[in-house]
Structure 1
Amino acid sequence: MAELTRRTLFGSTAGLAAGIGLIAPALGATAPMAPSGQEPGALRGSVADGKVTLPPLHQASEQNGEAPNPMPPGKRLGVAVVGLGALALENIIPGFGEAKSVRLTALVSGEPDKARIVAAQYGVPEKNLYSYADFDRIRDNPDIDIVYIVLPNAMHAEFTIRAAKAGKHVLCEKPMAATVAEAQSMVDACKQANVRLMIAYRLQYTPEHRTVIDLARSKAFGKVRMIEAVNGQNDAANGQWRQIKAMAGGGSLPDVGLYCLNAFRYITGEEPVEITAQMTHPANDPRFQQVEDIAMFTLRFPSGIVASGTSAYSFHESRFLRVHAETGWFGLDPAFGYDNLTLGINRKAGKASSMDSRRFTPKSQFAQEMDAFAASLHAGEEPHTPGAEGLQDMKIMAAIYQAAAGGGIVKLPLVTGLDTTRGPWPKALGPFVPA
């Protein structure tokens, strides 16, 4: 046999074959292969109950994905999106691309040209385009199971009630309405029509916030003593509807402060018994002629936990949540945005202080909430965040405004039990707390 050198090994076909012959045993090329030349069957996955399961490609110490297993299109619930503003176009409608149990089937808009363009982009047939005036015709469209309302707050009640009368289930953006009375009318209308109402508290369905809930409820670091949250942004002075009280119901509190308030409630599972608050209305700023800028509020819960929240429309984006417990603190920063939510945990580690950071696989929060609603509907159960959840937040915000207006300490009725305004966690989504 000729001596193997770089030239003889790679310079000819014979040399290359000889080289491979020497190298292959070292690489384990003699391992048995399936007759077809593919991997063994066990490595190609399995099918059971209509789902594909794939074997892990990495050790347990690494992240392993899983097949998404969406429902076939014909079995997904059809959704009509009402309102084609920034939230709908930038986040909700793109979220259907990740959704497993719903599909976009109709659009409702006051601007027909915009609706036709968006319909063409996402394959919605023109027969499923509606104006606000002819919205009630959705009653006769079997392609629509759910109406997702993405309108200014003061329009939520009207379109929820009209959707309920048309026999359609309702997913409504937060805040639920502009007033407590409107929110109550939405609950009553859906109950009377025997349709489900879910408020789009998207963060309650994310693994990041579910992990915070679990750390608090399990007392992983002892009893929770205090929770603090800030959710603020610097809005343009362009007269947008959020700066008009008749359309928004308020300023930063119902828009972004609501996230802090709702987080305090779902982390503890409790309802507050006392509230104090302050608000600012900068006199020379056109943004705050009708609504508040900064809202600062403190809630005290029956267990003794106190929570401090701040919202604003006039400072650079800041969105964090921190839970202070006896032997450590944990929270999210950012906490309330649409992506990049990051969990941090601080505790004692020997003679040092340990800071852990966890990031979860990015997923559309809107896909997760819509799939959760679909799972509840398929199971015939109340949604996890039903109308009662939104109504309670509306009542608490009314108390915050009362306290800020000079009401001092505003007391609320004692509510016993945990999660009294929430429905069950949809079993189809797997365990409530991510593994």
Structure 2
Amino acid sequence: MRIRRGRRDAVHHLQPSRGAGAHQDQRAGALAMETISKRSLLAAGLAAGVAGLPRGAFAAQPGRKLGYAILGLGYYATRIIMPRFAECEHSRLAALVSGTPEKLKTYGEQYGIPETHRYSYETFDRIIDNPDVDIVYVITPNSLHRPFTERAARAGKHVMCEKPMANTVADCEAMIAACKKAGRKLMIGYRSRFQAHNIEAIKLVRDGALGPVRTVVTDHGFTIGDPKQWRLNRALAGGGSLMDIGIYSLNAARYLTGEEPVAVNAVESTDRSDPRFGEVEDIINFQLLFPSGATANCVSAYSVNCNRYRVSGPKGWVEIDPATSYQGQAMRAQLGGPPAPREPAPQPKNQFSAQLDHLSECILTGREPIVGGDDGLKDLRVIEAIYRAAREGRTVKL
């Protein structure tokens, strides 16, 4: 069972192990090693975009499926996202961007993408002249989210960016500013917001079925493998488990309470003799206090397999285990009677195609995404506070 994406296309000689269990990106540890060097990709990602007004700011034509360019052809992109376009009503796969020529050829032929719509990281800026591409979906190591988002915006393209949004609050703010300046929409890939069980849990809370939320308990982790993978490289990942799988615990606490935390406590536990954790953290447990008085106890780990949450109030509780996996979610609830399994209301689309179509629908109708850049920024602000609380051994107020 997988919970997060693998973004291996962007890194040389890295065999990620799954952002979803070993069971999560061990998720994809058996995949072929990448052929593009980190130096080459970083240079491409940080290169300046095309100057001047975006020639690519083409208006969406009514009735036309909006075209996505997938940037980064790792496991999550090729095995999870790209096959889902077949189920989309408003979105289609229109272009590919990769540092690996073999992947561009293989997936280009598989999905009927013409050579004119296949880009390297170095030639990516030419996408400004491609009217078939409306949206760029950035699925790369975290440190490259900002440069590619900025380049996509300068090319007049809307952006879907994987989570975490970036490595720092400053990077998030720059990404938001770039898209705002270009008049393009920015959405963050919080796919669980489009998953049926999570939608049901949020609805139960908002409808008052539990009474006021008092506690959230959420644990997310997987046993990470190859010490050389990019997720264990601080420069590429920005941190360890918290920047990868832990963001599911944080984001769930925020969307279940419907509030933003005002105070954070945290403690880290990392075996620095383990070759996997020379640069980043393994376990980081954190507590959040919300304005209503609700609290959240959260786990993030690279050495424990877990994926669950429970939200509780005076009238009862709801739990999902697994909660944010690619599939297989199971819900139980205690709502005025004994605990029992609960099936959510069916959704017309799975979480992946629903996420893709949501951004297209927002572009076509002028609405804002339910998980826009501001949502990604809010997570990063809390993440920075969590790291500070763990480092300084004190409560950090937000």
Q: What TM-score do the two structures reach when normalised by structure 1?
A: 0.75
**Structure-1 residue corresponding to 2:385:** 399
1:383 corresponds to 2:383:
no
- 1:347 deviates by 4.0
Greater Cα offset, 264-273 or 302-311: 264-273
Aligned partner (choices 320, 323, 328) of residue 335 of structure 1: 323
Where 1:97 maps in the other structure, the secondary structure is helix
Q: Kindly provide the amino acid, as one letter, of the partner of residue 334 in structure 2.
A: N
Give unmatched runs, 5+ long, in structure 2. 1-60
Aligned partner (choices 289, 296, 306) of residue 300 of structure 1: 289
For residues 177-216 of structure 1, the aligned pairs below 5 Å read: 177-216=166-205
**Structure-1 residue corresponding to 2:343:** 358
- 1:348 deviates by 4.5
Q: Kindly provide the amino acid, as one letter, of the partner of residue 266 in structure 1.
A: Y
CA distance in 2, matches of 1:238, 1:184: 31
1:78 corresponds to 2:64:
no
- 1:356 deviates by 2.7
Does structure 2 retain, via aligned residues, the 8 Å contact 1:342–1:359? Answer: no
1:234 corresponds to 2:223:
yes
**Structure-1 residue corresponding to 2:310:** 322
Where 1:314 maps in the other structure, the secondary structure is coil
Higher RCO (CA < 8 A, seq sep 6+): 2
CA distance in 2, matches of 1:376, 1:309: 32
Q: Kindly provide the amino acid, as one letter, of the partner of residue 72 in structure 2.
A: G
Greater Cα offset, 236-245 or 147-156: 236-245
1:368 corresponds to 2:368:
no
For residues 392-431 of structure 1, the aligned pairs below 5 Å read: 392-412=378-398
Q: Kindly provide the amino acid, as one letter, of the partner of residue 397 in structure 1.
A: I
Does structure 2 retain, via aligned residues, the 8 Å contact 1:149–1:171? Answer: yes
Change (3 A) 1:291 1:322: same
After superposition, the C-alpha distances for 1:178-199 in whole angstroms (9 at most, x for unaligned) are 1111111101111111111111
**Structure-2 residue corresponding to 1:117:** 106
Aligned partner (choices 266, 273, 278) of residue 262 of structure 2: 273
Q: Kindly provide the amino acid, as one letter, of the partner of residue 269 in structure 2.
A: T
CA distance in 2, matches of 1:237, 1:360: 39
After superposition, the C-alpha distances for 1:327-381 in whole angstroms (9 at most, x for unaligned) are 21102111011111122102453xxx23233266585322110111111111112
State the percentage of identical aligned residues.
46
Does structure 2 retain, via aligned residues, the 8 Å contact 1:341–1:359? Answer: no
Q: Kindly provide the amino acid, as one letter, of the partner of residue 259 in structure 1.
A: Y
Does structure 2 retain, via aligned residues, the 8 Å contact 1:329–1:347? Answer: yes
After superposition, the C-alpha distances for 1:193-236 in whole angstroms (9 at most, x for unaligned) are 11111111111122221211111122212221100100110111
Where 1:143 maps in the other structure, the secondary structure is coil
CA distance in 2, matches of 1:368, 1:99: 7
For residues 107-256 of structure 1, the aligned pairs below 5 Å read: 107-256=96-245
CA distance in 2, matches of 1:78, 1:129: 13
